Structure 1
Amino acid sequence: MFKNWTLFEKAWLIISTVIILILSILWDDTLLGTISSIAGIICVVLAAKGKIGTYVVGVVQCSTYGYIAYGYGLYGESMLNLLFYLPIQFIGFYLWFKNKKSPDEAAYGEEIYAKRLTTKQWLYTGAGILVAYISYSLFLSRIGANLAGLDGLAVVLSVVAQILMIMRYAEQWILWIIVNVITIALWAIILVQQGGNDWTVFVMWCAFLVNSIYGYINWIKISKAQGAV
Structure 2
Amino acid sequence: MVFTAINLYLFFAWQDSFLGLITSLSGMLCVVLVAKGKLGNYYPGILNVVLYAYLSYQQGFYGEVALNLLYFLPMQIIGLLLWKKHQAKNQDISDVAVSMLDKKKKIIWGIIIVAATILLGNVLQKMGGAQPYVDATTTILQIAAQLFLIKRLVEQWITWIIVDMVSIWMWLTAFLTSGNDVTVLIMWVAYLFNAIYGYYNWKKIYIRQGGHAA
- Determine if contact 1:107/1:222 at 8 Å carries over to the other structure: no
Is 1:212–2:199 an aligned residue pair?
no
- Determine if contact 1:24/1:200 at 8 Å carries over to the other structure: yes
Name 2:128's counterpart in structure 1: 144
Q: CA deviation at 1:190?
A: 1.8
Sequence identity percentage: 40
Q: Aligned pairs, how many?
A: 212
> TM-score by structure 1 length?
0.90
1:131-210 matches, cutoff 5 A: 131-193=115-177, 195-210=178-193
> In the alignment, residue 70 of structure 2 is paired with which amino acid?
L
1:1-80 matches, cutoff 5 A: 14-80=1-67
Q: Secondary structure at the match of 2:39?
A: coil
Q: CA deviation at 1:74?
A: 0.7
> In the alignment, residue 91 of structure 2 is paired with which amino acid?
A
- Determine if contact 1:107/1:225 at 8 Å carries over to the other structure: no
CA RMSD across the alignment: 1.1
> In the alignment, residue 206 of structure 1 is paired with which amino acid?
V
Where does the alignment leave 5 or more consecutive residues of structure 1 unmatched?
1-13
Q: CA deviation at 1:107?
A: 4.9
State how far apart, in whole Å, the 1-side matches of 2:17 and 2:3 are.
18
1:122-133 matches, cutoff 5 A: 122-133=106-117
Q: CA deviation at 1:64?
A: 0.3
- Determine if contact 1:114/1:223 at 8 Å carries over to the other structure: yes
| CA deviation string 1:93-113 (max 9, x = no partner) | 0000111124xx1353x2000
| CA deviation string 1:66-116 (max 9, x = no partner) | 1001001011111111111111100000000111124xx1353x2000001
State how far apart, in whole Å, the 2-side matches of 1:17 and 1:52 are.
22
Where does the alignment leave 5 or more consecutive residues of structure 2 unmatched?
none
State how far apart, in whole Å, the 2-side matches of 1:56 and 1:106 are.
19
Name 2:91's counterpart in structure 1: 106
> Which contiguous aligned blocks of 4+ residues in structure 1 show a shift greater than 6 angstroms?
none
| CA deviation string 1:93-145 (max 9, x = no partner) | 0000111124xx1353x200000110011011001101111111111111110
State how far apart, in whole Å, the 2-side matches of 1:107 and 1:217 are.
17
Q: CA deviation at 1:27?
A: 1.2
Q: Secondary structure at the match of 1:53?
A: helix
Q: Secondary structure at the match of 2:129?
A: coil
Q: Secondary structure at the match of 2:16?
A: coil
> In the alignment, residue 39 of structure 1 is paired with which amino acid?
S
State how far apart, in whole Å, the 2-side matches of 1:219 and 1:27 are.
36
> TM-score by structure 2 length?
0.96
Name 1:225's counterpart in structure 2: 208
Q: CA deviation at 1:22?
A: 2.1
State how far apart, in whole Å, the 2-side matches of 1:166 and 1:196 are.
35
> In the alignment, residue 123 of structure 2 is paired with which amino acid?
F
